[in-house]
Amino acid sequence: MSTHSLVLPRLPVLSWAYLLERRKSPLPSIMEAKYRLPTTSGRAAIALALRATGCQAGDRILVPTYHCPTMVAPIVALGGKPVFYPTGPHGEALLDQLPAELLDGARAAIVPHYFGLPQPLSRIRALCDAQGIALIEDCAHAFFGLCEGQPVGSWGDYAIASLTKFFPVTEGGCLVSHRHPLTSPALSLARRPSSASLRVLADALELSVQHGRLAGLNSLLNPLFDAKRRLNRAVSTHTPSIPEDPLAAAILRAHADFSPEALPFSRIAAAARMLVRAGGSARTVRLRQTNYAGLAERLAGLRGARPLQRSCGGNAAPYVFPLWVDSPDEVYQKLRQSGVPVFRWDERWPATPDLPGDSGKKWSHHVFQIGCHQDLSATNLDWIAETLKTLIDGTV
């Protein structure tokens, strides 16, 4: 492993390559749904999907045990009651293992395609239809793909997605539906000032310049962004007191983040929509598939870790490469400090229960999500693999 850390982008960044390749991928995206509503984020889309289902105070919303807390926060903020279902060993939703009294009368179920690897949903769709449960298909990791021959996002009554995970923008999500118009007054969004677009554009340019992706502009813009960062560091902010109890703190944050005047209920910045439309999707899909396969090949010999799925196949544009690590606590922070683009959902909603036959708790501890997005080069992948081998197995 090299003696210095590479600074790799954790998510896609704006580049000439993105702007110049305009071809569309043959793999469908969720934006091909009949009804579409751009949002400020994926979590905003979840909140709006819940509104679209008519979620009322006390309504049960089914969510997986393997999750980021931002999946649960909108439920709590809107007065719903999260009910957790087990996650299977392959990431499948084990809704049918919940007691009948929890399924009966549930308002909605949120079912994700983890890591951008589409999960079969025909069984889940049938169960939701039989129980009268609205299916919210969580495509935050799966903007592109086919699921049992259908486009991702088409199985749910509603589907949500995140733009920031697949495009060079710092805000953006979407709520879509193949079944229901998104014209309810509950889905009306507040206008944003033009300054929001300027900020989004400036943030995208800043990240791009930091990673040297705009040859010819990097040297011109970098001094401006250096000055901006110095100014931001000089500005002090007041941090409100947070309750010590983890659940109370999570509930407080949820209500603050999803108050009626908060960003989730505002329109997406126009600049974010412009940047998403500025590039083609063929490069994004092709390079994510290539990078996933590249990491699978490079990490095949690891002794202390293994991929959850060795191939993403041709029907997926993966968000990350999921790696099971046998002794995660010994290496996770070292990996983050090294510069490897790695995530872990080790922080779950505080009230998440331990359920029989559930893989969610183990995954939150052992599964590392390794970046494989389109703005990582083959050289970057070599370095990532070298670093993982060194820190996990103690060898190169």
pLDDT band for position 7 (cuts 50, 70, 90):
confident
User: Residue 152 above 90 pLDDT?
Assistant: yes
Q: What is the mean pLDDT of residues 159-170?
A: 97
What is the model's pLDDT at position 245? 86
What is the model's pLDDT at position 2? 45
As given in the structure block, the two tokens for residue 37 are 């509503």
Name 156's Cβ contacts closer than 8 Å, sequence gap at least 6.
Answer: 111, 121, 135, 136, 137, 177
Residue that is written with structure tokens 């995530």 in the block: 343
Question: What are the φ and ψ backbone dihedral angles of 228, each rounded to 5 degrees?
Answer: -60, -45
| Least confident residue range of 151-155, 229-233, 294-298, 387-391 | 229-233
pLDDT band for position 230 (cuts 50, 70, 90):
low
User: Residue 229 above 80 pLDDT?
Assistant: no
Rounded Cα distance, 26 and 144, in Å: 10
Instruction: Write the pLDDT tens digit of every residue in 355-396.
Output: 999 999 999 999 999 999 999 999 999 999 999 999 999 865
Q: How far is CA 130 from CA 88, 108, 178, in A?
A: 21, 13, 19
User: Residue 4 above 50 pLDDT?
Assistant: no
CA-wise closest residue to 30 among 113, 115, 133: 113
pLDDT band for position 228 (cuts 50, 70, 90):
low
What is the model's pLDDT at position 219? 79
pTM metric for this prediction: 0.92
- Helix-, strand-, coil-residue percentages of the chain, each rounded to 5: 40, 15, 45
Average pLDDT score, the chain:
92
What is the model's pLDDT at position 339? 93
Q: What is the largest CA-CA distance in the chain?
A: 63
282-393: which CATH topology?
A: Aspartate Aminotransferase, domain 1 (3.90.1150)
Strand 134-138 to 146-147 pairing: unpaired
Architecture of domain 28-187: 3-Layer(aba) Sandwich (3.40)
Contact 310, 358 (CB under 8 A): no
Sign of the Cα torsion 38, 41, 46, 50 reads negative
What is the model's pLDDT at position 238? 55
What is the model's pLDDT at position 223? 77
User: Residue 22 above 80 pLDDT?
Assistant: yes
Beta bridge partners of 36: 176
Contact 93, 136 (CB under 8 A): no
Report the interhelical angle of 218-234 vs 194-210 (nearest 10°): 110
Instruction: Write the pLDDT tens digit of every residue in 71-111.
Output: 999 999 999 999 999 999 999 999 999 999 999 999 999 99
User: Residue 318 above 50 pLDDT?
Assistant: yes
Measured distance between the N- and C-terminal CA atoms of the chain, rounded to whole angstroms: 7
pLDDT band for position 239 (cuts 50, 70, 90):
low
Structural Rg of the chain based on CA atoms:
21
26 CB neighbour count, 10 Å cutoff: 10
Sign of the Cα torsion 116, 263, 255, 44 reads negative
What is the model's pLDDT at position 218? 79
Task: List the chain domain ranges.
Answer: 28-187, 282-393
What is the model's pLDDT at position 199? 93
User: Residue 3 above 50 pLDDT?
Assistant: no
Contact 162, 140 (CB under 8 A): yes
User: Residue 244 above 90 pLDDT?
Assistant: no
What is the model's pLDDT at position 216? 87
Q: Following CA atoms 237, 240, 244, 248 in sequence, which dihedral angle do they give, to the nearest 10 degrees? A: -130
Quick one: how far is CA 74 from the chain centroid? 15
pLDDT band for position 1 (cuts 50, 70, 90):
very low
Beta bridge partners of 93: 87
Beta bridge partners of 83: 62
392 CB neighbour count, 10 Å cutoff: 23
As given in the structure block, the two tokens for residue 120 are 């079969």
Instruction: Write the pLDDT tens digit of every residue in 335-353.
Output: 999 999 999 999 999 999 9
Q: What is the mean pLDDT of residues 281-296?
A: 98
